[in-house]
Amino acid sequence: MKRCVIVGGADILDYEKTKEYLSSEDFYIFCDCGLRHSEGLGVEPNLIVGDFDSSENPKLDTETIVLPREKDDTDTVFAVKEAINRGFEDFLILGVIGQRLDHTLGNVSILKMLFDKGFKALIVDDYCEMTALGKDIQYIPDTYPYFSLINVFGKSTGIIIKNAKYPLENAEITCDYQFGVSNEVIKGEVAEVSVRDGVLLLVKVR
């Protein structure tokens, strides 16, 4: 099954770096004003969704779903749900980390929604990669200068970090004490991170 790339309207400053994540086989959904990134990313939309409150409907010869402006789902959440309905289980989400903190946090929560369904999901911005971390070990090479484990999804225990400057064994990170911020992979090693119970946000800084 092909991967679905969802593009929101937040700024993307480094198109060349972002394009390194893209594949010619991807299916592209652009959300509302996210369509402005089409040229910079060098890809055409397969689907456009939005209520067009931040841009005009371009009325292209491309499948377009026009949403009401008063609704529960943001354009990005609707795009994710539409992709799930079309059978996608692998997601790359771009242009969703920006100046609106409320939208940013809402978009980060999409990672948990997809994680709970057993799907792969990665958010990429100009500086970081973000994904949900659970029991499956994730590996971080030393090409990433920093990484963080942040609790934004609830109780997380049995946290393990190996081959890093600040290792952990059977630890707990709570929402009110985020001591997992800004760790470093030991030079020449590959860090290993996992969570026995719960889900954490893994942020890898490029």
Read off the pLDDT of each residue in 153-173 and give the average, rounded to a whole number: 95
> Domain coordinates of the chain in residue numbers?
4-126, 133-205
Cα 25 to Cα 28, 40, 44, 197: the distances in Å are 10, 18, 12, 35
Provide the pLDDT confidence category of residue 146 given band limits of 50, 70 and 90.
Answer: very high
CATH of 4-126, one of 3.20.20.10, 3.40.50.10240, 3.30.450.40, 1.20.1730.10: 3.40.50.10240
Neighbours of 176 (CB within 10 A): 6
pLDDT tens-digit map of 184-203: 999 999 999 999 999 999 99
Cα 78 to Cα 32, 51, 74, 110, 173: the distances in Å are 11, 11, 6, 11, 31
Read off the pLDDT of each residue in 106-120 and give the average, rounded to a whole number: 96
Edge-to-edge strand order for the sheet containing 168-173?
Answer: 138-141, 190-197, 156-162, 168-173
Segment holding 48, helix H or strand E = strand 47-50
Q: Matching CATH topology for 4-126 and 133-205?
A: no
Read off the pLDDT of each residue in 82-95 and give the average, rounded to a whole number: 97
Please compute Rg for the chain using Cα positions: 18
Read off the pLDDT of each residue in 118-140 and give the average, rounded to a whole number: 97
pLDDT tens-digit map of 55-88: 777 778 889 998 887 788 899 999 999 999 999 9
Tell whether the model's pLDDT for residue 95 goes beyond 80. Answer: yes
pLDDT tens-digit map of 29-52: 999 889 999 999 999 999 999 888
Q: Report domain 133-205's class.
A: mainly beta
| Mean pLDDT value across the chain | 94
Tell whether the model's pLDDT for residue 14 goes beyond 80. Answer: yes
- For residue 48, the model assigns a pLDDT of 95
Q: Is the pTM of this model over 0.85?
A: yes
Cα 102 to Cα 106, 108, 144: the distances in Å are 6, 10, 27
Residue 40 DSSP SS3? helix
- For residue 71, the model assigns a pLDDT of 83
The one-character DSSP state at 39 is: H
